[in-house]
Structure 1
């Protein structure tokens, strides 16, 4: 009998074992072993061992079904016949048929063993998929899951095309194998998810579970339909494990997003500030890539997260916004430090470009990502005030030494060019026409107002008595410089035309000797500027 089993002539072996079993039972019934119970025990054990040997062969056949390239149809059909004959020979019963250490005549449950063998086969097939270490291959998990889905898809196709036909319909072979593979994969993924995974590995696992497993790349492949059904499969990961995986992903993303934003700042420092690269200009506005870069980072991570679940997408957006609110003050601090340490001609173009870019960022976040930007706008408003103050401080530092020359002898003797002040101020003001409105106009008018006010302040300071000729010379020079200043700023877009007459009125007063005309000029000044006291 053992030789028959070894040769896998299972039907013949089963017939012989069954005959041996029946004879032993008959002899027991005839009380042949009443004086020699040990002999009954020995024969019972022999029968049991032989049945167990067949059980082992059944397991071997099932596990070899997917291992062996060439499938032996006759072996499977023979095994199915064997199981049917055993079930007929040993119908299920709740009570023991016969006494003994190993009961004779009891069901051997080979169909159940067949299912267990399929589960074990699936487990081994899953673990057989190549898996490199992280040190050997950075994309080890992605490659492993790819190998896994490719090999198991081939297994399922083999089951559909070659294995299924060897079994009766009642075996539901495809469903049994699919469930076995599903459980084996679930166990494997659960183990993988407990290990230390980085940001990309966490996403790889999430994406594979959410988007690859049931897709046409694996279980939903057209070649597997309609036999391979997935509708009734349980979750690959438990809700707790799935939530943990998503939370780990978001926690890991925090450092990644912070790093990406940090890289934006680093590139601004090394590739723009240190090299003083000119600001780009688009549609007459200075342009910086900040808004585009930030929105690209947010958009890409939201897209990836949204492919997993809507909830994960929302969490990712919240995370990106939280990191953005931390990044902007950090950017502001770095730019402020650079502008303080450097007297660079690129400062104003950069400032204008950044303010423009942050305005674009708010607009983009609101329209594209539907974000509530209230908190962001508060931070950007503070940044804009700070940048504006730095701008005005630098303007004053540049203009004050020149303004103090007004009414000096060198100034009166025309040692300075008449456009000296306008030229210095223009280094700042000319860039404001490339700033988004209304802020550009507001700041340009602030510059215009500052220059006129400080000019007049210098003129009306008590100095010395001037003769008529000198007063007229001063008056002409003031009128000329005022015209140059106003024309320059108006050409640059200033709408503060109400400032234009101010210096001219003072010039007229200084250059006039007759009291009645002086009185008329003062009256004109008061009419144009009623708040003068």
Structure 2
């Protein structure tokens, strides 16, 4: 039978998937408004394009030469670019995009803004420090709009600012797309830019709300010429990038080497392992670097969870085979919540995120019902196939195996394994499902045992002449122990196990004993007849011959398990006592003198002790039979009717099936009793004296004529 395995078993010792969060390097640029036009505009722009018009108009015409000289002396490069960050801050207060420890530059009034070419060159080199001057340009553009600059000039300048923002955005989001490949300081710098852009989005939103409240014209005559560029929503774009990265990671082709697993199993194993390792990397390496309000763990966890759930939901739409139904439930109910969500490194973080289940409850219940139906049908089919193969071996006269000197059959082991694996599969999904399937499987086992009993009965009738007949009978009796023990162990309270579930095993064992003892009992029959044939002349010698015959045959049963060999000796013990009493009840012996009755009572007592001692020495635990012959001997020995009545009443408590007919047959031996005495003694059985708990059928097996 297919042995299903837990997919995450052994993952801790395997190598991790290389390149955790190793997202593709050739990421597409995110869309930007008029990006192509902005690039062209920037290539043609000069530093004068970014000088505020109001500042240019303030210079008198006569000072044009002086302005030209100042422009020529204007410093190039980015060394003095970052004075914009000091605008509106107290001295010494660092900017979010300014590297820690960088000294404050000279006062802003002495540092002109960089040119478009300088900003573009800096951004293309990945210099995120350009974010500060770019933000300053954006704000000055907004100030120029309020100052009445021409619409044409405003549009031209805004297109250049937006093109620069497109470059900055691609740089920042490109770094955040592959965060584990970025140096920590570099990553902090990108995050600082992202945070500053989010703050600027909020500030712009507040300003827009104030302008709307102030009414038309409050923003200035040129404000309407500017296209609203905020909110830019870079944080939202970053989250989309995380979702895309999660999809790319989980959709990657599974690594080879997962032999024996279906395609679906390999895919889900790959997704589970990837998600676990990636989220562990996020918690350990990214969480300390990201701002708390970004909640990087939740962003990645939710993206991975959504894609994982989408994959399972898509798969659940199809008609699944048994194996894939089981696999789906294992992931949804066990592996995902236990091995990923509640794994030691992730539990504290992901429990806070509250990702939920991969599938809705109703769909899970439908899948569980399908699984139970599939599994029960599979167990039924496998058990039937195992019995069929075993029956074929019996019919083909294949000798049973020997294990520790006992006849052994693999059938019981196969059946127990089939049942146990079915329950283990259900428990590997949830313990609750394991409880559900346990009772159903026990009923299936009981149905199998009835089929087993019928097949064994057929074998007993049809295969008597086969050489290995007795060996196979013994092997099947031995099977009963494993099967009974398995049922009792699986039942929550063995005392509550319905008796009818075990009846087939009891019947099988009984039929097996009858078959094994048939020849012995046949040999004993003529020996017991000697008691009546000789009129009990020499009962000791006859009994000695009987016990000797039994002793010679007992080795034939040595291949039974010890417990069953003891039970079989108990059956022999019962047979010896029953046949002895049967001979006493034949009414062929009538003793009229007290001496004759006492002599016979002595023989019966001695024979009873001999039978009890012999059977106990050979393993019989039928202690309840020890009173059967000695107390009958006492009834025959006593002469006072009152004393006999007391003895009969006591005897009836040990053997409640001791009837008036049996009593009459014994009293017939006492030829000196009157019919009135016999009637009086028989009447004592009309009164119920109760019965010992250990009492079992004895006299109901004895027919009296």
TM over 0.5: yes
The alpha-carbon distance between structure 1 residues 424 and 389, as it changes in their structure 2 partners (threshold 3 A), is farther
Q: In 1, distance between residues paired with 2:553 and 2:672?
A: 29
The alpha-carbon distance between structure 1 residues 203 and 160, as it changes in their structure 2 partners (threshold 3 A), is closer
Q: Which residue of 2 aligns with 1:126?
A: 250
The alpha-carbon distance between structure 1 residues 58 and 436, as it changes in their structure 2 partners (threshold 3 A), is same
Q: Displacement, 1:209?
A: 1.7
Mapping for residues 14-93 of structure 1, pairs under 5 Å:
15=133, 19=137, 23=141, 26=144, 30=148, 32-33=150-151, 51=165, 54-55=168-169, 57-66=171-180, 69-71=181-183, 73-74=185-186, 77-78=189-190, 80-85=192-197, 87-88=199-200, 91-93=204-206
Q: Which residue of 1 aligns with 2:334?
A: 207
Contact 1:254 1:319 (C-alpha < 8 Å) held by counterparts? yes
Superimposed CA distance per residue, residues 261-320 of structure 1 (whole angstroms, 9 cap, x where no aligned partner): 4465367547777323357668xxx87776666556555655564465331221131232
Q: In 1, distance between residues paired with 2:516 and 2:582?
A: 15
* SS of 2:454 mapped into structure 1: helix
Q: Which runs of 5+ in 1 are unaligned?
A: 221-225, 408-417, 461-481, 503-519
Mapping for residues 68-467 of structure 1, pairs under 5 Å:
69-71=181-183, 73-74=185-186, 77-78=189-190, 80-85=192-197, 87-88=199-200, 91-93=204-206, 103-128=227-252, 130=254, 137-138=260-261, 144=267, 147-160=270-283, 162-192=285-315, 196=320, 198-199=322-323, 201-202=327-328, 204-205=330-331, 206-216=333-343, 219-220=346-347, 228-237=349-358, 238-258=360-380, 261-262=383-384, 265=387, 268-269=390-391, 274-278=398-402, 298=419, 302=423, 305-306=426-427, 308-343=429-464, 344-366=469-491, 369-370=492-493, 374-375=497-498, 377-385=499-507, 388-389=510-511, 392=514, 426=553, 434=562, 436=564, 440=568, 443-444=571-572, 447-448=575-576
Asked whether 1:523 is paired with 2:523, we answer no
Superimposed CA distance per residue, residues 387-441 of structure 1 (whole angstroms, 9 cap, x where no aligned partner): 535754786699779979999xxxxxxxxxx88x957995899579955599646
The alpha-carbon distance between structure 1 residues 346 and 438, as it changes in their structure 2 partners (threshold 3 A), is closer
Q: Displacement, 1:357?
A: 4.0
The alpha-carbon distance between structure 1 residues 430 and 179, as it changes in their structure 2 partners (threshold 3 A), is closer
Contact 1:150 1:218 (C-alpha < 8 Å) held by counterparts? no
Contact 1:353 1:435 (C-alpha < 8 Å) held by counterparts? no
The alpha-carbon distance between structure 1 residues 77 and 490, as it changes in their structure 2 partners (threshold 3 A), is closer
* SS of 1:345 mapped into structure 2: helix
Q: What is the RMSD of the two structures over their aligned residues, measured on CA atoms?
A: 5.7
The alpha-carbon distance between structure 1 residues 490 and 313, as it changes in their structure 2 partners (threshold 3 A), is closer
Contact 2:419 2:441 (C-alpha < 8 Å) held by counterparts? yes
Q: Normalized against structure 2, the TM-score is what?
A: 0.51
Larger radius of gyration: 2
Q: Normalized against structure 1, the TM-score is what?
A: 0.64
Superimposed CA distance per residue, residues 94-142 of structure 1 (whole angstroms, 9 cap, x where no aligned partner): 7578657x942531121222222223222322223626699x6426566
Q: Displacement, 1:243?
A: 3.5
Q: In 2, distance between residues paired with 1:120 and 1:454?
A: 92
Contact 2:426 2:433 (C-alpha < 8 Å) held by counterparts? yes
Q: In 1, distance between residues paired with 2:505 and 2:300?
A: 62
